[in-house]
Amino acid sequence: MLHQLLFMLSSMLTRRIAQSISHYSVNNLFAKSLLSPREHYTTTNVPISNFQKSLLAVSSAFTAFFDPSRGDMIATLAETTSSIFLNKLRDEMLRDSKGRQILRERPIINSKTIDIPNLRTLPEGTFGKEYANFLDGEMVTPDTREKVKYIEDEELAYVMQRYRECHDFFHTLTKLPVSVEGELALKWFEFAQTKLPMTLISSVVGPLRLSSKERTRLFEKYVPWAIQCGSQSKLLMNVYFEECWNKDIAEMRKELGIYLVE
Amino acid sequence: MIDKNLYDIAIIGGGITGSALACALVNSQKTKSRRIALIEFNNMSNIREWKPPHLQFSNRVSSLTPRSIQFFKDIGVWENINHERIRPYKDIQVWDGISNARIRFNSDDSISINKNIEAIAWIIENNNIQHAILTKLAQYKDSNIDFLENTTVKRIMFDDVNYENEQFDLSDWPSLELSNGKVLKTRLLIGADGINSVVRSFASIESLGWDYNARAVVATLQVEPQVENATAWQRFLPTGPIAMLPLNNRFSSMVWSTTPTLASKICTLPSNNFIHLVNAAFRLRIADLEYLYSQLENCDIEFVKEFEWRQSIEKKAGIGNEIFPPLVLDVQEKSRAEFPLKMRNAESYVKERIALIGDAAHTIHPLAGQGLNQGLADVQSLVKVIEHGVVTGQDLGNIQLLKNYSSDRYLSNLMMLGAVDKLHKLFGNDFAPIVFMRSLGLQVINHLEPVKSEIIKYAMGIE
Ligand SMILES: Cc1cc2nc3c(=O)[nH]c(=O)nc-3n(C[C@H](O)[C@H](O)[C@H](O)COP(=O)(O)OP(=O)(O)OC[C@H]3O[C@@H](n4cnc5c(N)ncnc54)[C@H](O)[C@@H]3O)c2cc1C
């Protein structure tokens, strides 16, 4: 863990320096040109300095802790702390054919792009049907995700967006519930997969809100599973979920190296 | 009869350093009366009659420093160079593949460099240099030099035989047994026979160093026409540096050191994919390159599409605003070749009656383009020492005399070897703190003009 943290810290510094020294210019025009040709994941892009980013990160971490209902704050925390790691995540996608296809096509997940009524008609056991069951069971829709702000780079903004949009697919595949415990377990799983700091930070802060029984279960059952399964399975960001509706979900788990927590 | 086979100086190896040494010795008033043999394994007629092919360049080129050029001027070789095929450059851009941190050297900007300096270095085909040396040597036909081509030195020995009618004791002169059956005796034996020097092994001089787990791929590239193609570019990738050197406004030469596995795949890649792999290696993210590496054997994927897509994304993100080398449009047929990379330094350059020069004495990673320049500096130094020996009437094979040569060159070569080796190691690392430190270092140096001037002067041979 210490190793990971040190690694993060140093990559963060590296990136900082690299950005400031490589004339990596923040293009203000981005805000206007963010409309992707394919889809409207229109984001309000606010160019801010690294210092401001750190301030935002710290303050949103506090807000998230004291007021868990402020979903926007959790999102802000993620964006400001993770631009370095989004780069890493994008690199992982760039190394993979499917990841590249996703980056190139920039598919969007919402109720307009995905025909959910049709997914409901698929046979039981298919990924599409399981996903529809999940949405119906939890009474959520794919439209409730925070919009991406504060990320100037158009492609990185997309990676963040995609990461959020895939969250419910992760639930579907791992069968983790939308409870505090389930979410935390999923965070650890995502962390093992992506090393994104947002997942790490909330997994450290989050358990303080659990009862001691829940906490014991989290650390003795879920976390070991999440770390094991998350680090050995294929990076889920490189899965083109939209092509998998008809796949047998058990088959899919096997291909991806995912097993369920007992 | 026997007389004929006695020489003052026998040079083994007629590569650039060996033939340049011969040329300098016959050109010098002080040494021209010595009997010299130059022995080369290859037939040199191709190079002697070299007709530069129109719009084609050899893949073997060298970057020659002002100091090396001056030396060629001094010994009358420079006038025989085909000047249409050389390219001076005043600008060097070096950057980090991971962080993109850059350092730029420009001889015009450097405060402490003489403003009359024409260039930091010149890119010249090895054939062009060698042709010029051979042309010069041909003018000395009637002098005391014997150029034995197509001849291998099979064995070197001390045979203890003293020719009866000799007034000198020749028993400690090395004898050379040649492939044509002749045996020569020489007062001074010079090893200019490259990295696997027979002279060095004969002298039982150890060669210290290691092989890099890397190979260099060279190629002649046709590039987007430039108004002035006069910058040397080098990007440090985690697998090794890739360099592009200007030949003229439409051609550049590439040296890409990388892992042995990648090197052989890069050499055999279909040329349309190769071109865009090179473009990617200079411009795209390391992750993109790694993806392309994984697809080298996949004939279905068009690298051009990958390159253009990523290029457009990077441009939008503002990274494409940096200046990059010209885009590669084509690769000259059959110009791709690979070489092993080694670092070696002989434990000593001299022994009684023996001296080593050039790659026989030391071999360096080509990332700083210094190997041949070091060899030519050896030649200059050795010529001075031999001249001094002649003037003061010493035995040219005397170790005390030869030590002047090694003490002049050894440390200086070792320092260059060490510096280049450290650079190679420093940049062959992708551990984040090291990337951070080196990027910081590059940036800091880039803003310290005096330090930069010193580095560039060192690289130019103005020590
Ligand atoms: C990819 C690459 C790029 C390079 N780029 C540069 C650059 O930009 N700038 C630079 O300065 N240097 C560069 N170098 C290094 C440079 O090419 C060498 O340092 C230089 O060619 C060495 O010259 P040499 O005469 O000492 O040895 P060689 O060129 O190796 O010559 C040795 C000669 O000896 C002959 N020989 C060997 N054994 C015998 C024998 N037993 N009998 C008779 N003859 C024999 C051989 O036939 C050969 O002709 C580069 C090297 C590589 C691999």
pLDDT tens for B77-110 read: 999 999 999 999 989 999 988 888 888 888 776 6
| Digit-coded pLDDT (tens) for B20-67 | 999 999 999 999 999 999 999 999 999 999 999 999 999 999 999 999
B226 pLDDT tier (thresholds 50, 70, 90) = confident
CB contact under 8 A, A95 and B99: no
- Asked if A26 is an interface residue toward chain B (Cβ–Cβ < 8 A), one would say yes
CB contacts under 8 A, A 205-244 vs B, are none
Least confident of A60-74, B234-248, B434-448: A60-74
By three-state DSSP, how is residue B186 classified?
Answer: strand
- Burial class for B160, CB neighbours closer than 10 Å (0-12, 13-18, 19+): exposed
Residues B240 and B380 reside in one and the same domain: no
Residues B181 and B156 reside in one and the same domain: yes
Residues B154 and B295 reside in one and the same domain: no
Residues B185 and B140 reside in one and the same domain: yes
Residues of chain A below pLDDT 50: 1-45
Amino acid at residue number A188: W
Listed as own residue / partner, the contacts of B425-430 with beta carbons closer than 8 Å and 24 or more positions apart are B427/B96, B427/B236, B427/B241, B428/B238, B428/B239, B428/B240, B429/B238, B430/B98, B430/B238, B430/B286
CATH for B322: 3.30.9.10
Residues B48 and B143 reside in one and the same domain: yes
Residues B382 and B351 reside in one and the same domain: yes
Let me know if residue B434 belongs to a domain.
no
Let me know if residue B308 belongs to a domain.
yes
Q: Which domain holds residue B368?
A: 6-72+126-206+347-429
Predicted pLDDT of residue B159: 76
Residues B251 and B139 reside in one and the same domain: no
Predicted pLDDT of residue B141: 80
Do B286 and B262 contact (CB within 8 A), yes or no? Answer: no
Q: Atom 28 of ligand 1 has which residue's CA nearest to it?
A: B194
Residues B196 and B217 reside in one and the same domain: no
Amino acid at residue number A142: P
Residues B163 and B145 reside in one and the same domain: yes
Let me know if residue B84 belongs to a domain.
no
- Percentage of chain B exceeding pLDDT 70: 95
CATH for B10: 3.50.50.60
- Rounded CA gap, B221 and B248, in Å? 11
Let me know if residue B456 belongs to a domain.
no
Mean pLDDT of B155-167: 72
| Digit-coded pLDDT (tens) for B312-338 | 998 888 765 678 999 999 999 999 999
- Asked if B53 is an interface residue toward chain A (Cβ–Cβ < 8 A), one would say no
Residues B252 and B366 reside in one and the same domain: no
Let me know if residue B439 belongs to a domain.
no
Average pLDDT, chain A: 75
Range list of β-strands (E), B97-144: 102-106, 121-125
Boundary (domain end) residue, out of B302, B321, B339: B339
In this complex, the residue of A10, A91, A95 whose CB is nearest that of residue B436 is: A10
Distance from residue B21's CA to the centre of ligand 1 (Å): 14
Tokens of A49: 């300095």
- Asked if A31 is an interface residue toward chain B (Cβ–Cβ < 8 A), one would say no
Predicted pLDDT of residue A180: 81
Pocket-forming residues, ligand 1, beta carbon under 6 Å = B 12-18, 39-42, 62-63, 152-153, 192-194, 198, 216, 218, 255, 339, 358-359, 366, 369-373, 375
ipTM summary value: 0.85
Let me know if residue B404 belongs to a domain.
yes
CB contact under 8 A, B439 and A94: no
Let me know if residue B438 belongs to a domain.
no
Residues B303 and B225 reside in one and the same domain: yes
- Percentage of chain B exceeding pLDDT 90: 73
β-pairing verdict for B121-125 and B145-148: unpaired
Amino acid at residue number A141: T
- Rounded CA gap, B343 and B420, in Å? 10
Let me know if residue B49 belongs to a domain.
yes
CB contact under 8 A, A21 and B99: yes
Count CB-CB contacts under 10 A for residue A250. Answer: 12
Predicted pLDDT of residue B162: 60
pTM over cut 0.95: no
| Digit-coded pLDDT (tens) for A115-142 | 999 999 999 999 999 999 999 998 888 8
| Digit-coded pLDDT (tens) for B111-126 | 555 556 778 999 999 9
Boundary (domain end) residue, out of B339, B372, B391: B339
Do B314 and B37 contact (CB within 8 A), yes or no? Answer: no
Q: How many domains does chain B have?
A: 2
Residues B302 and B372 reside in one and the same domain: no
The 3-class secondary structure across A51-112, one letter per residue, is: HHHHHHHHHHHHHHHHCCCCHHHHHHHHHHHHHHHHHHHHHHHHCCHHHHHHHHHCCCCCCC
Predicted pLDDT of residue B390: 97
